[in-house]
Structure 1
Amino acid sequence: MVRVRSWQLLKYWRENNMIEKTGFFYMGKEFSMDENKTHDCLHYDSRDLTTHAVCIGMTGSGKTGLCIDLLEEATLNGIPSIIIDPKGDMTNLLLAFPDLLPEDFIPWINDDDARRDGVDVATYTGKIARIWKEGLSTWGIGSDRIRKYKESAEFKIYTPGSKAGYRVSILSSLHAPKLTWTEEEETLREKIRGTVSALLGIINYNTDPIRSKEHILLSNIFEHFWRKGEDLTLETLIGAIGNPPFKKLGVLSLETFFPKNERQKLLLDLNSIIAAPSFENWIEGEPLNIQDFLHNSKGVPQVSIFYTAHLSDNEKIFFTSLLLEEMLTWVRS
């Protein structure tokens, strides 16, 4: 059997100007600064993206465009994605029009742009459609490739704390993970620490897991229930703040360490958040089940975009922390 190395394949594809290759992402074409023109196709070996990566560049240098390109290529290769979108850029992944017809662009056209161009909306959308079609064709991208991309995955935009897109519920973050304490104690305590920090952050409390009495109390409540394999609810959690299922924290009695009148403030602050009508948007919707965000019920890869641009900074941190804790638990389970 003849073994062909990846660099040999890349050389062959470049020489033959080939785009589609399983396991390799088409990134465009090599550009010569001296000649001011493009040359061979440029591919990226997806095996180089199995660990961490960071994209750094100046404002407007193309970071978002590059990342969108990588995600589109991953989708074409059947790779699902979970994307956190704090600025609102990544929803552009859904703007895929296989036929590139003018009417496809109408919902996304600003009437003022057409007016400034001195034409009506229909004429302007026709112009935009031509620009897209001609621009993509110069890179070897036609309707078939766009259609394949669109059909390669299910695309969903989740809007935590809002009804604008698909809704997600944070309640699953209170459920006892399906991990054993004898083997995964460190992982479980990390999850508790992250979950408690997120809950305290949303009400502007100190989230130091060592010095914050609130953090220590809530962490012990979580551990008490999770060690027994019992899920927590918001009601159970608030009730346990008022009447904890233990009498000591460390070597001190509970009342010495954290008197009931002080616990009452934490209880009321958490309850105020939960009692707000808008909080319903946080507890209704799909649970934070990572596997369900990667593939739909039919096993089709999913591109799950968590749009958080509408949230306050505290809310962004709150949701992102919960999602990442769920992801970490999923990876280790």
Structure 2
Amino acid sequence: MQLGTNRINDEKIEIHSEVLARHAAMLGSTGSGKTVMAKALIEECTIDEIPSLIIDPQGDLARLCLNTSDKDVEKHGGDVARAKSFRKKAEVRIWTPLRKKGLPICIDPFQTPSANLDQEESITAWDMVAAGFTALADYDMEKPAGKQVRTYLYEILIHMTRLGVKVNDFLALSRAVKSPDKILTDHLYVDEIDKPDWDDICAEFDIPDLTSMLPKSTYDELSRRLAAYSSGINQLLFSNGVPIDIDTMIKPSRAGKTPINIVYLNTIQDEAQKHYFVQEIARALYSWMLEQQSTDNKLKLLFFMDEVAPYLPPAPRNPPAKDLIKLIFKQARKYGVASVLATQNASDVDYKIMAQANTKFIGRFSQPQDIDKVKHLLKEDGGNLDMIKELPSLGPGQFQMVSPDVSRKAIPLQCRWLYTEHGPPFSEEQVEKNTSKALRNWAKDNSAKTTRKIDAHASAATAAGASLGAGNRGMAAAALGADRDDAFEVRLMGGLSVIRDGKDPLYVMQGITNAMATIVLLWSMVVLGTQWRDGELDWTWALLGLLITLSVFLIIGLETFLGHDIELQRKISKFARFSQYGLFIWLWTLLFWEYYYSDYTLGNNLAMVLEVSVVWTTIFMALEGLHRLKLGRLEVNFEGEGVFSKLKDGMGSLTAVLTKSEIREMEASSKEVMTGLRWILDFCTFVIFGAMVWGTVFGKSLEELFGGEGTPHLLKFALWLGSIYLLIFMAQSIVIKNTQN
């Protein structure tokens, strides 16, 4: 890695990338050139094919996406060949939380720690999750109240997850926090009328008394604060973009590229949210590290934090990300992660973390407190203090490099010329302009592929002595769909996307339509088989009817009995759409035969059922087509990637887990469709009723109004209209019953 030249003898200064495995720090006041030094280090790592993850609070590092010319590099004594190598390999991605100016990125605070951790690591990981929620709820963890809340959330998370309660969004967590005894009792004894006392439940399932860990007022206040993150601008932090995933970040979108991931924090205006976002990035990195194999100083990733003072202040201050970053610095080496931090105020950073950086690039300092801090750091390392007196006189790009792995003495370093542009911080408009469409498409694809992992075994490893088997009786609650937080977007034979909870009228209408179609298919298969046996029908039609019936039964059966298995349903999802269209065409074919092929008949009663089934199925097909057009228009108006975008991207899938805000969006969409359907029905009814009133007033019969041939068609239309009203009435009756249960 070429860092620059020796200021005294002009020799090139090169280090091996493994030197960074023991971490580095860049110190220097404003104008010292530490950002240039940081960029040079990132460029060298990229040439060595080491991906990087960069926290950029001010937008200084985002300019890495702008390359300088070969002429400019050569003019300033740079290595043109290495500059070309950098340009060939670099894939700069600028991630923008809350906004789509760059690549949108979000956090999933409900991502559970891995089950592969040992107990100590698992306890630490779960504690970090609890710390994140405590910070989000605006409790100061340095004060007794904040420490109590953190401990309480830790217990809530591990025991709820261990016992199978889905705490996977803010409303679910809010309810669990407010009434843990009710949530667990209802979950564990869902099928029992006489439920045991809370004390007995705690003893049986090895649960601490969660109802006595906080003052009553704190339970309510904590619940209220957490619930606030389920709506409004707050939820964009958790839903807008690609969820943080280190594996995704280190993987290039194209072969031969080395990712440079820059997390551009300027899009987050709220300081508390900014701190929380940094903490979640650190948590994701720490969790990823623990899943890696130990390495012999071979680097897998460069983790760089610019302007770390707000996140790593001296004791006793302890902002949310500090503990995690300390853990990363302590353990990253054995997992192949080089951690580098930069600051312009050495006195404002916890020296214990700075001391873990084995290589230090020290630029100009003029303030006595900063010079004293540097002196203290060098004493801790047993370093040479002679270079301290030179610090006030250093120019831009000039550093004293202190690295025992390279030299016993401080090296007077002049940083090399950059292969990328250096200038003022990037604005959001510049970020947007320099984010390519290809990278946006790649990010969108990865956003759709990322799924949340919820692992009860991870919490079981943490809750020492707890029995997983004891909680199995409560799994019936999830199987019965008792928890609305586990709602699904479904795409059944009815076709329209609605909420699968038995409390949405459209979903129930689909179920009734499917039941009616099932009856028709079964009976038509019997009729076709009988006519084939009697030689009245070619065997191909009987076989076709059998195949269509079996395929519809298969898909409805899989959806019914395997609704909990999303991955398995995805595998068969490609057949669902074809079966839906096949059912639609087949029902119309049967109806055509019934009226125009005299040798084929279902019987008068079943013929009416067939006609009603065709009407209902056609209604859903028409609604689906119109609704998709509507969704396409709605998507343009959404800043974030909402449920409509997900539906558009995933039209082939049977199921997709939705967040609480997306469920509400779907419910609103469902109500909108129902309102439109009722309006059309009411309009048609008004037309028919008006015609009848008109005839009554003027003394005309139906035959006189519509003609002798038109009357049967009018009556048939009235039958269709009545059947749709009947469908709505049955669906709403079932919904009322389900809501009361």
TM-score, reference length from structure 2: 0.33
Residue matched to 2:729 = none
- Map 1:1-333 to 2 at 5 A: 25-32=1-8, 39-98=10-69, 133-134=71-72, 136-142=74-80, 144-171=81-108, 173-180=109-116, 183-208=117-142, 212-227=147-162, 232-244=168-180, 253-258=209-214, 260-298=216-254, 300-311=257-268, 312-333=270-291
Change (3 A) 1:278 1:223: closer
Superposed displacement of residue 260, structure 1: 4.9
Letter in 2 for 1:325: R
Counterparts of 2:63 and 2:225 in 1: how far apart (Å)?
Answer: 38
Counterparts of 1:222 and 1:201 in 2: how far apart (Å)?
Answer: 15
Say if 2:171 and 2:230, in contact at 8 Å, map to a contact too: no
Superposed displacement of residue 87, structure 1: 2.0
Change (3 A) 1:58 1:239: same
Say if 2:98 and 2:240, in contact at 8 Å, map to a contact too: no
Counterparts of 2:172 and 2:264 in 1: how far apart (Å)?
Answer: 30
Superposed displacement of residue 136, structure 1: 4.2
Tell me the alpha carbon deviations over residues 238-284 of structure 1, each in whole angstroms, 9 at most, x when there is no partner: 22112325657999743333355531211111222332235324322
Q: Secondary structure at the match of 2:280?
A: helix
Q: Looking at secondary structure, tell me which structure has more helix per residue.
A: 2
**Greater relative contact order, per chain length (Cα 8 Å cut-off, separation 6+):** 1
Letter in 2 for 1:306: V
Counterparts of 2:104 and 2:136 in 1: how far apart (Å)?
Answer: 19
Counterparts of 1:281 and 1:79 in 2: how far apart (Å)?
Answer: 29
Q: Secondary structure at the match of 1:232?
A: coil
Say if 2:113 and 2:126, in contact at 8 Å, map to a contact too: no
Residue matched to 1:22 = none
Q: Secondary structure at the match of 2:102?
A: coil
Counterparts of 2:82 and 2:2 in 1: how far apart (Å)?
Answer: 12
Change (3 A) 1:256 1:221: closer
Superposed displacement of residue 43, structure 1: 1.2
Counterparts of 2:72 and 2:114 in 1: how far apart (Å)?
Answer: 52
Q: Secondary structure at the match of 1:315?
A: helix
Superposed displacement of residue 83, structure 1: 0.6
Letter in 1 for 2:213: F
Change (3 A) 1:262 1:31: closer
Q: Secondary structure at the match of 2:4?
A: strand
Counterparts of 1:219 and 1:169 in 2: how far apart (Å)?
Answer: 23
Superposed displacement of residue 319, structure 1: 0.6
Counterparts of 2:55 and 2:124 in 1: how far apart (Å)?
Answer: 21
Superposed displacement of residue 44, structure 1: 1.8
Counterparts of 2:238 and 2:115 in 1: how far apart (Å)?
Answer: 25
Change (3 A) 1:251 1:43: closer
Tell me the alpha carbon deviations over residues 87-139 of structure 1, each in whole angstroms, 9 at most, x when there is no partner: 2211121111456xxxxxxxxxxxxxxxxxxxxxxxxxxxxxxxxx3464332
Q: Which moved more, 1:237-246 or 1:49-58?
A: 237-246
Tell me the alpha carbon deviations over residues 3-56 of structure 1, each in whole angstroms, 9 at most, x when there is no partner: xxxxxxxxxxxxxxxxxxxxxx11122323xxxxx7332212211111222112
Counterparts of 1:69 and 1:141 in 2: how far apart (Å)?
Answer: 12
Counterparts of 1:210 and 1:257 in 2: how far apart (Å)?
Answer: 13
Counterparts of 2:113 and 2:210 in 1: how far apart (Å)?
Answer: 27
Unaligned runs of 5+ in 2: 185-197, 292-741
Letter in 2 for 1:240: A
Letter in 1 for 2:275: I
Q: Secondary structure at the match of 1:60?
A: coil
Letter in 1 for 2:219: R
Could you say what the CA RMSD is over the residues aligned between the two structures, in angstroms? 2.9
Q: Secondary structure at the match of 1:55?
A: strand
Superposed displacement of residue 298, structure 1: 4.7
Change (3 A) 1:224 1:98: farther
Counterparts of 1:270 and 1:239 in 2: how far apart (Å)?
Answer: 9
Aligned length: 267
Unaligned runs of 5+ in 1: 1-24, 33-37, 100-132
Change (3 A) 1:175 1:225: farther
Change (3 A) 1:251 1:26: closer
Change (3 A) 1:74 1:251: closer
Say if 2:107 and 2:237, in contact at 8 Å, map to a contact too: no
Letter in 1 for 2:221: K
Tell me the alpha carbon deviations over residues 279-309 of structure 1, each in whole angstroms, 9 at most, x when there is no partner: 3243221122111111135564311111113
Superposed displacement of residue 206, structure 1: 2.5
Say if 2:39 and 2:64, in contact at 8 Å, map to a contact too: yes
Counterparts of 2:209 and 2:114 in 1: how far apart (Å)?
Answer: 31
Superposed displacement of residue 322, structure 1: 0.9
Q: Secondary structure at the match of 2:7?
A: strand
Say if 1:168 and 1:286, in contact at 8 Å, map to a contact too: yes
Say if 1:169 and 1:288, in contact at 8 Å, map to a contact too: yes
Superposed displacement of residue 221, structure 1: 1.9
Residue matched to 2:575 = none
Superposed displacement of residue 320, structure 1: 0.8
Counterparts of 2:72 and 2:69 in 1: how far apart (Å)?
Answer: 13
Superposed displacement of residue 68, structure 1: 0.8
Counterparts of 2:90 and 2:76 in 1: how far apart (Å)?
Answer: 25
Counterparts of 2:239 and 2:231 in 1: how far apart (Å)?
Answer: 12
Counterparts of 1:228 and 1:240 in 2: how far apart (Å)?
Answer: 13
Letter in 1 for 2:246: I
Superposed displacement of residue 329, structure 1: 1.1
Residue matched to 1:21 = none
Letter in 1 for 2:99: S
Counterparts of 2:209 and 2:78 in 1: how far apart (Å)?
Answer: 71
How many percent identity over aligned positions?
A: 24
Counterparts of 2:281 and 2:217 in 1: how far apart (Å)?
Answer: 33
Q: Secondary structure at the match of 2:78?
A: coil
Superposed displacement of residue 158, structure 1: 0.8
